[in-house]
Amino acid sequence: MRPRIGVLTSGGDCPGLNAVLRGIALAADKLDFDVLGFLDGFEGLLPPGKFMPLNRRTTSGIMPRGGTILGTTNRGHFVAKVGAGEKAVVSPEVIANAKRILAEQRVEALIIVGGDGSMTTALQLQEAGIDCIGVPKTIDNDLEATAMTFGFDSAVASVVDALDRLHTTATSHKRIMLLEVMGRHAGWIALHGGIAGGAHVILIPEIRFDYEKIINAVRMREVRGSVYSLIVVAEGACPAQGQGVMRRTDGAEDRYGGIGNVVAAEIAARTGKETRCTVLGHLQRGGAPTTLDRILGTRFGVKAVNLIHERQFGSMVSYQNYQVRHVPIADAVNRLRLVPPDGEMVQTARDVEISLGD
């Protein structure tokens, strides 16, 4: 009987997860492991256990598919993060149940594919004696311990596509068009998407904005003969005077969304110009992964299996200097990589006449 690896996908889904699962299944087979995929995130570990085999047959053809064939959730019994930096403790009873199911299924080590919250849970499982390997995932690309996560490039591609579409309708109607994009704490999606999509104003959580500065940027464009403007707003953006838009939910992470419409209404009121807001929402998380995310996902999946083979438990796969390496999960959790307000990306945006609203 071959030794068995478990794998689960947890937290918000993103393009590239299936490439990771396929990479795991094929690399594991080569090293003589069987793989059991647990369904619906960590919840699949609870009695009676929900799982499916991951092998050449079950992962065939899944690479171009968005989402995760295993299902996922960012709610449930294992949620270890609620607000930014806030850690919740997974109950010992829940962990004991998960251990029992893993033992019954002869699973010797568990690969956890997820974001900061899921890595916080992984750390608690590791400390409770379950051998874990983490694979980082977030479209927000805001984990300090890895230079890049798969899903980000696909999300940015959706933003750029949306901006290209908004561009033509904005010019036709001479309107101000806002696009609200994801990014709770970090503005990477807004910044990369906005630069590539030719936005004129980009509002990110790291730089508090001033309505008058946004309006100045729009007026300056008019003086130069451009009677329309494209504004990208990260969901976590916040005015210098006032609040962002966020609400707490029971037993899950904070929910963001809504700041785009607030900003649009304020700009319309102050300028009298026709202003519209589009919320891109989960379109950023769905659909086929880009080439880059397929490759990164595959590399991360293969690395996770190799780390199990090397018995590097408690490690998380990490991308550094164009190499796939690993770091202790303990060093990876709770460390967000935010956009440096005086960094090169922000300066590049400013140098191509993009206002950051400050």
Residues tagged active-site: 140
Residues 191 and 345: beta-carbon distance below 8 Å: yes
Q: Which two tokens stand for residue 103?
A: 């033992």
Distance in Å, CB of 238 to ligand F6P, minimum? 14
The sign of the torsion formed by the CA atoms of 200, 203, 208, 209 equals: positive
Q: Which two tokens stand for residue 158?
A: 């959706």
Separation of alpha carbons 125 and 350, rounded Å: 44
Smaller CB separation from ligand F6P, 147 or 220: 147
Q: Is 182 in the site for ligand F6P (CB under 6 A)?
A: yes
Q: Is 234 in the site for ligand F6P (CB under 6 A)?
A: no
From 125-133, 180-188, 311-319, 334-342, span contacting ligand F6P (CB under 6 A): 180-188
Smaller CB separation from ligand F6P, 72 or 275: 72
Which residue has 């003969």 as its token pair? 225
Smaller CB separation from ligand F6P, 256 or 300: 256
Interface pick for ligand F6P out of 41, 134, 136, 183 (rule CB under 6 A): 183
Site for ligand F6P in 11-50 (CB under 6 A): 12
Separation of alpha carbons 152 and 143, rounded Å: 12
Separation of alpha carbons 358 and 350, rounded Å: 11
Q: Is 74 in the site for ligand F6P (CB under 6 A)?
A: yes
Distance in Å, CB of 66 to ligand F6P, minimum? 13
Interface pick for ligand F6P out of 139, 163, 231, 267 (rule CB under 6 A): 139
Smaller CB separation from ligand F6P, 228 or 319: 319
Distance in Å, CB of 86 to ligand F6P, minimum? 15
Q: Which two tokens stand for residue 56?
A: 């050449």
Smaller CB separation from ligand F6P, 72 or 126: 72
Q: Is 120 in the site for ligand F6P (CB under 6 A)?
A: no
Residues 322 and 175: beta-carbon distance below 8 Å: no
Cis peptide before 328 (omega within 30 of 0): no
Lay out the sheet containing 51-53: strands in order across.
51-53, 34-38, 4-9, 107-114, 132-136, 315-320, 323-328
Separation of alpha carbons 90 and 87, rounded Å: 10
From 34-42, 138-146, 304-312, 315-323, span contacting ligand F6P (CB under 6 A): 138-146
Separation of alpha carbons 65 and 234, rounded Å: 26
Which residue has 């999509």 as its token pair? 197
Site for ligand F6P in 262-321 (CB under 6 A): 285
- The residue of the chain with the least Cβ separation from ligand F6P equals 182
Smaller CB separation from ligand F6P, 130 or 237: 237
Distance in Å, CB of 278 to ligand F6P, minimum? 16
- Helix (H), strand (E) counts: the chain: 10, 13
Chain contacts with ligand F6P (rule: CB under 6 A): 12, 74, 115, 138-140, 182-184, 235, 256, 285
